[in-house]
Structure 1
């Protein structure tokens, strides 16, 4: 998924269900100069999404243990 975020940033957002963000990213990556910020934005967003899932899983584990 990280490679998709680097080479096709708008597709990365679209696959995660963020349609409006995907369109904004597509507009940004139309230019060659905008491709780099779009790719960085997609990778950071993907990493944040993974961290959120990990945190939710940890919170659920702590709640069930208590």
Structure 2
């Protein structure tokens, strides 16, 4: 989370979002743009975490349904 606040563009690069990282870097070059860039990086990070959790839950539900239908 600290990385997303201090170096927002690097947070995007680490997550594999190169184009967004470049746009964020351009936005971050200005002092005024740093705050929106940091907020954008934090929200993107949180969204990415939520997507991973939802996929894990979906897999568990599917696995549960398959095991219940066999039994």
Task: Structure 1: state its 5+ residue gaps.
Answer: none
Query: What is the TM-score normalised by the length of structure 2?
Result: 0.91
**How much is the aligned-residue C-alpha RMSD, in angstroms?**
0.3
Which entry has the higher C-alpha Rg, 1 or 2? Answer: 2
Match of residue 24 from structure 2: 25
Instruction: Please tell me whether residue 63 in structure 1 is matched to residue 62 in structure 2.
Output: yes
Q: Does 1:11 align with 2:19?
A: no
CA distance in 2, matches of 1:20, 1:47: 18
Q: Give 4+ residue runs of structure 1 displaced > 4 Å after superposition.
A: none
Q: Which runs of 5 or more residues in structure 2 are unaligned?
A: 66-71
